């Protein structure tokens, strides 16, 4: 493996010139450019970017904290991040956190020790204590959660609005007893979707406090389990699930109980993951701009790192209702 000194010697120039050829080629004369290029080819030189990064005190890597990489929604967000990162010359480090704050904080070390330049968090926790001004101690972007703040950039959808629209679809079909399978209790996203659900019910003259709420954790299993907690004395005619995975698990559980969707109960999900169209029945859901969420988060982190952006933008990306076969008017 040749290094910059050998290339410089071979080309008869200084190492500074080689370095400039690689990073600021516009500063070199045509003749020098030619000479350097030949030397690099001749020696098959690849610059040691570990050395460059060290010297610039930048890892050109970002850390993505994801609660569950096997969740298809998150894996698509990561795809978007990865896309944009590659375009900007950054690589993506993966931190699977299982919603565990301790693990999140241990990943913070990657930034403290300079192996990553910043963090994109896809969950709601903060992987660090905020400083005295309420700011993150490292470059930080939060994506997919329902948080608005002037302390760091965020990327999200209108969770309240989308949940409201989706629930209104159910009330407009004539449903008045609509249960809800929620996400984790601490998640702001859960709270906002719950609020949207409630507002839609109120708009339809339905008392939200009489509806059954069941907490889940966004996993298919928790949706499946919820099926067995659904009241049989006063069964809902529709159920709003806060993501598609839980809706898919729920439908499976309902079927195991002999309840058919949408004939007996309508079910809606949230996210529009790939599986939503292939499930039986295909899910009525909210389509999120999943990859775009990731790309935007990475774009913000890039601006935080490589420009003087300080205004902490709060992106809100559009969603769309997708009507499929898991919803119908109630029979009764």
Which residues of this chain interact with DNA, rule CB under 7 A? 1, 3-5, 12-20, 22-23, 27-29, 31-32, 45, 47-48, 51-52, 54-57
Q: Compute the distance between CA of residue 300 and CA of residue 303 in angstroms, rounded to an integer.
A: 5
Question: What DSSP line would sit under 272-320, residue for residue?
Answer: --THHHHSSSPPBEEE--HHHHHHHHHHHHHHHHHS---S--EEEE--E
Q: Which partner in a copy of itself, DNA, none is near 32 (CB below 5 to 8 A by kind)?
A: DNA
Element (H, E) at 60: none
Is residue 328 close enough to count as binding a copy of itself by CB under 8 A?
A: no
- Smallest separation (angstroms) from DNA to the CB of 54: 5
114 makes contact with a copy of itself (CB under 8 A): yes
Q: How far is the CB of 13 from DNA (least distance, A)?
A: 4
Binding at 194: pick from a copy of itself, DNA, none (beta carbon under 5-8 Å per type): none
Which two structure tokens, joined as six digits, stand for 302?
């890039």
The site string for a copy of itself over 168-197 (x = CB under 8 A, - otherwise) reads ------------------------------
Phi-psi region of 144 (alpha: psi -120 to 50; beta: other; left: phi over 0): left
**If binding is defined by CB under 8 A, does position 88 make contact with a copy of itself?**
no
On whether the CB atoms of residues 156 and 145 are closer than 8 A, the answer is yes
Nearest Cα neighbor of 121 from 136, 133, 132, 113 is 136
Give the CA angle between residues 153, 157, 158 to the nearest 5°: 115
Beta bridge partners of 314: 154
Q: Which residues contact 130 (CB under 8 A, 6 or more apart)?
A: 136, 137, 151
Taking CB under 8 A as the binding criterion, the range among 105-113, 126-134, 154-162, 305-313 that sits at the site for a copy of itself is: 105-113
String of contacts with a copy of itself for each residue 66-85, x by CB under 8 A? ---xx-x--xx-xx--xx--
Q: Answer yes or no whether residue 94 interacts with a copy of itself by CB under 8 A.
A: yes
Site for a copy of itself in 257-286 (CB under 8 A): 274-275, 277-280, 282
Stretch (H or E) spanning 240: strand 238-241
Site string for a copy of itself, 36-55 (x = CB under 8 A): ----------xxxxxx-xx-
CA distance 50 to 53: 5
> Residue 96's binding partner, choosing from DNA, a copy of itself, none, with beta-carbon cut-off 5 to 8 A by kind?
a copy of itself
* Residue 331 contacts which entry, a copy of itself, DNA, none (Cβ below 5-8 A, type-dependent): none
Q: 3-class DSSP state for residue 159?
A: helix
The one-character DSSP state at 62 is: E
In the structure encoding, which two tokens stand for residue 218, read together?
């966004």
By the rule CB under 8 A, 131 interacts with a copy of itself: no
The contact set with a copy of itself (CB under 8 A) reads: 46-51, 53-54, 57, 59-61, 69-70, 72, 75-76, 78-79, 82-83, 91-96, 109-110, 112-115, 220, 224, 248-249, 251-252, 255, 274-275, 277-280, 282
């Amino acid at each position: 493996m040749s290094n910059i000194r050998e290339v410089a010697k071979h080309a008869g120039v200084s190492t500074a010139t080689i370095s400039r050829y690689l990073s600021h080629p516009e500063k070199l004369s045509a003749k020098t450019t030619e000479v350097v290029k030949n030397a690099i080819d001749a020696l098959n030189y690849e610059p040691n970017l570990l050395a460059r990064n060290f010297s610039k005190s930048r890892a050109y890597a970002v850390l993505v904290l994801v609660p569950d990489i096997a969740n298809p929604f998150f894996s698509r967000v990561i795809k978007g991040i990865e896309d944009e990162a590659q375009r900007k010359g950054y690589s993506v480090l993966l931190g699977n956190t299982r919603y565990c704050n301790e693990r999140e904080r241990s990943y913070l070390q990657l930034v403290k020790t300079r192996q990553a330049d910043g963090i994109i968090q896809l969950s709601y926790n903060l992987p660090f204590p905020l400083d005295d001004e309420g700011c993150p101690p490292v470059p930080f972007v939060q994506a997919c959660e329902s948080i608005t703040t002037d302390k760091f950039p965020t990327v999200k959808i209108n969770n309240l609005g989308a949940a409201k629209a989706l629930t209104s679809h159910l009330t407009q079909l004539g449903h008045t007893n609509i249960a809800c399978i929620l996400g984790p209790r601490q998640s702001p996203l859960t709270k906002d979707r719950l609020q949207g659900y409630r507002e839609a019910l109120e708009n339809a003259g339905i008392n939200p406090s009489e509806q059954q709420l069941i907490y889940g954790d966004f996993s298919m299993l928790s949706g499946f389990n919820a099926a067995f907690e659904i009241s049989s004395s006063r069964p809902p005619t529709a159920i709003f699930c806060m993501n598609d995975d839980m809706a898919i698990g729920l439908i499976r559980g309902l079927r195991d109980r002999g309840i058919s969707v949408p004939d007996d109960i309508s079910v809606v999900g949230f996210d529009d993951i790939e599986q939503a169209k292939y499930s039986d029945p295909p899910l009525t859901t909210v389509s999120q701009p999943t990859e775009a969420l990731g790309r935007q988060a990475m774009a913000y982190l890039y601006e935080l790192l490589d420009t003087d952006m300080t205004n902490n933008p709060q992106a809100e990306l559009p969603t769309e209702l997708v009507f499929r076969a898991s919803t119908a008017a109630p029979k009764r």
